[in-house]
Amino acid sequence: MDKNFNYIPLIRYANYVYELNPNVNLVNQIKNTFLFDWDLKINPSAKVLFFQSLDREDYNNFSELIFSTIDDKTKKHTFIKKKKKKNFNALLYNLPKYFELYKSLKYIKNKKKRFFIFFYLIDLLKLLYQLKSLKPKIVITHADMQAIENIIVQFFKNKNIQTITLQHGLYIDYSKEPNINEVNYTNVVSNYFLAWGEETRNLIQKYHPSCKVKTLGNPTIIQKEIHPMDYFVVVFEHEGNKKYNFILLDIARDISKKLKLPIKIKLHPRNIFKEYDINREEVIKHDEVYNAKFAIGHTSTMLYQLLRNDIPIFKLKSNSPCNKTEQKFIFSNKTDLLLKIKNPANINHEKEGEFYIKYTQKEAINKYHDFFNKILSKA
């Protein structure tokens, strides 16, 4: 096995990809490995390289804002994509690694899974061919939990180049209920992790004591004067947790009738609209969320962003792992929720939210700017 790489996070990620779709066509994965190549648009003279593989509007807004705080004219923000193009040079570049790599996967009894992971890793290793001549001062990734960004970080870290990764949401410790979301914190390999708040800082340091964690906040959360409108918001979960969306919606309909207060729904970017009994008029835009009287949800990051913006939140109680949440925000049923809404606790919501997101807007921007300036001055 190649001693220069820690394949554990890469195998962990590939394993979850397979588990999410065990009926995957192995032939298609092999074709993807041999007939498609990584499409990188890189400035070879860039001192700062920023890699991102997750293409989603909220992620992109966050990355672009962080990227703008870096004072370097050569910097390059690269979205990692695939294109149909054979690159046998890239395949041959890593050829000596393949035999040992396959041997290391022998413990996987399911042969289909083993071959899937093997070709998945070969596909990742192809990327190194395009990186071998680059000599940046620092490398930043949007999320090094992603296998493709993880291998990029490891490659440059092995060349003694400073590597930095960002936080892309609030992470939950899934050690008691393992699922793909645990890679958010178990897969961290960068020298630096830039956290939003103390909760995530503590989680990363728990699993990676040697990682340098800096609490810099989230500048995309715009704190503004709030003008509460006559509605409350239901914050939906991702599709993996969609059963809670139906529970939340049922509770919200009942609360809406009792309070004579309209519902607005904040969909998760991965939600499928037609699966829910809702109207288009009920779906709310991102900015409108911050005008709600209050919000109810389950484990969504959005709940804590609203809390940080001084908006009352109520979290549905369940056995699912979740972010550390004070009991005063938790409800167990319709009656309990109605009681908490009608008898609000004396809470400074904004102050409570600082545990999850310490700094926002201009203060956060300055924190990132100062951090990158300091790193660049030492590089």
Lowest mean pLDDT among 84-93, 163-172, 332-341: 84-93
* Residue 301: per-residue pLDDT: 93
CATH code of the region 8-220+359-378: 3.40.50
| Cα–Cα nearest to 199, from 355, 6, 75 | 355
Instruction: Read off the pLDDT of residues 276-314 as tens digits, 9 standing for 90 and up.
Output: 999 999 999 888 898 999 999 999 999 999 999 999 999
What is the rounded distance in angstroms from the CA atom of residue 144 to the CA atom of residue 30?
24
* Residue 325: per-residue pLDDT: 86
What is the rounded distance in angstroms from the CA atom of residue 190 to the CA atom of residue 193?
7
Q: 183 and 204 in contact (C-beta within 8 Å)?
A: no
Average pLDDT rounded to a whole number, residues 103-130: 95
Q: Is the pLDDT of residue 213 over 70?
A: yes
Between 341 and 325, name the one with better pLDDT: 341
- If DSSP states are collapsed to H, E and C, what string results for the chain? CCCCCCCHHHHHHHHHHHHHCCCCCHHHHHHHHHHEEEECCCCCCCCEEEEECCCCHHHHHHHHHHHHCCCCCCCEEEECEEEECCCHHHHHHCHHHHHHHHHHCCCCCCHHHHHHHHHHHHHHHHCHHHHCCCCCCEEEECCCCCHHHHHHHHHHHCCCCEEEEECCCCCCCCCCCCCHHHHHHHCCCCCEEEECCHHHHHHHHHHCCCCEEEECCECCCCCCCCCCCCCEEEECCCHHHHHHHHHHHHHHHHHHHHHCCCEEEECCCCCCHHHCCCCHHHECCCHHHHHCCCEEECCCHHHHHHHHCCCCEEEECCCCCCCCCCHHHEECCHHHHHHHHHCCCCCCHHHHHCCCCCCEHHHHHHHHHHHHHHHHHHC
Rg, Å, the chain Cα set: 22
* Residue 288: per-residue pLDDT: 87
* Residue 96: per-residue pLDDT: 86
| Fold agreement (8-220+359-378, 232-353) | yes
Angle at 260 between CA 257 and CA 264, to 5 degrees: 85
pTM of the model: 0.93
CATH superfamily, domain at 232-353? Glycogen Phosphorylase B; (3.40.50.2000)
Question: What are the residue boundaries of the structural domains of the chain, listed by start?
Answer: 8-220+359-378, 232-353
- Exposure string for 350-379, b = 16+ CB within 10 A, e = fewer: eebbbbbbbbbbeebbebbbebbeebbeee
Confidence of residue 326 (pLDDT cuts 50, 70, 90): confident
What is the rounded distance in angstroms from the CA atom of residue 215 to the CA atom of residue 355?
11
* Residue 143: per-residue pLDDT: 98
Average pLDDT rounded to a whole number, residues 63-70: 97
What is the rounded distance in angstroms from the CA atom of residue 265 to the CA atom of residue 21?
29
Between 5 and 148, name the one with better pLDDT: 148
* Residue 240: per-residue pLDDT: 84
Q: Is the pLDDT of residue 43 over 90?
A: no
* Residue 2: per-residue pLDDT: 61
Residue type (1 letter), 353: G
Residue type (1 letter), 348: N
* Six token digits for residue 189: 């390999």
* Residue 228: per-residue pLDDT: 73
Residue 173's CB is within 10 A of a number of other CB atoms, namely 20
Average pLDDT rounded to a whole number, residues 309-325: 92
* Residue 351: per-residue pLDDT: 92
* Residue 9: per-residue pLDDT: 96
* Residue 229: per-residue pLDDT: 81
Average pLDDT rounded to a whole number, residues 76-87: 92
Average pLDDT rounded to a whole number, residues 73-92: 92
Average pLDDT rounded to a whole number, residues 6-31: 94
